[in-house]
Amino acid sequence: MMALRLIVGLGNPGPHYEGTRHNFGFTVVDRLVDEYGGRFRSTRFGQVAEIERLRVLKPQTYMNLSGQAVGPLCRFYRVAPEELIVVADDLDLPLGTLRMRRSGSSGGHNGLKSIGEALNTEEYPRLRLGISRPPEGVDIIGWVLGRFSLEERSLSEDAVEKACKALRCLWTDDIETAMSRYNG
């Protein structure tokens, strides 16, 4: 396996979306960059930070168009699909659950679908953070664009911490070690 060179956190730009379930990827990379004393700066690819010889990207294209930022950045810096990891929310996992995979389908996640189209492959690592499905009768769009309840905040905070540990493990060890320690 090649070394990790890029972490992409998915979300929607702007204060209106801060703290929403769909911005879980942004929340994780914000925490990670903060822990390393990094700072995001605006670039033509989106918000980019550098920590430990590693680039971290928050696309500013809105979730469903994430590939419009990820594809050009990967081409510009010659980052192969296996040298990046995308951090995104997942409706099909219980809140607080992490699932890291070497590759896979978009699973209906439009941000992952956009990145797969831009890279012309689904063979790129991803770390999914569970946000759970909405209760019966609650609209999915309203759910993913909603904020965590007071009861959910502890689980979501724990998931962010665990995701940061998983990402550090990925770049210091390898994906197999990170998956065995943090999946589930």
The per-residue pLDDT for range 47-100, each reduced to its tens digit, is: 999 998 899 999 999 999 999 999 999 999 999 999 999 999 999 999 999 999
**In the numeric block, which tokens belong to residue 105?**
């389908």
Number of domains in the chain: 1
How sure is the predictor about 183, in pLDDT bands with cuts at 50, 70 and 90? Answer: very high
The residue behind tokens 């770390």 is 127
**In the numeric block, which tokens belong to residue 142?**
């309203």
Q: Look at residue 27 and tell me whether its pLDDT is greater than 90.
A: yes
Inside any domain, residue 1: no
Inside any domain, residue 76: yes
User: Containing domain of residue 42, as a range?
Assistant: 6-182
Q: Residue 22 catalytic?
A: yes
Assess contact for 165 and 157: CB atoms under 8 A: no
pLDDT in tens, 1-22: 458 999 999 999 999 999 999 9
Residue 52 confidence (pLDDT): 85
Nearest residue to 109 (alpha-carbon basis) of 24, 45, 175: 24
Inside any domain, residue 39: yes
Domain with 115 in it: what CATH number?
Answer: 3.40.50.1470
Assess contact for 46 and 14: CB atoms under 8 A: no
From 9, 10, 20, 22, the catalytic residue:
22
Residue 3 confidence (pLDDT): 83
pLDDT in tens, 122-139: 999 999 999 999 999 999
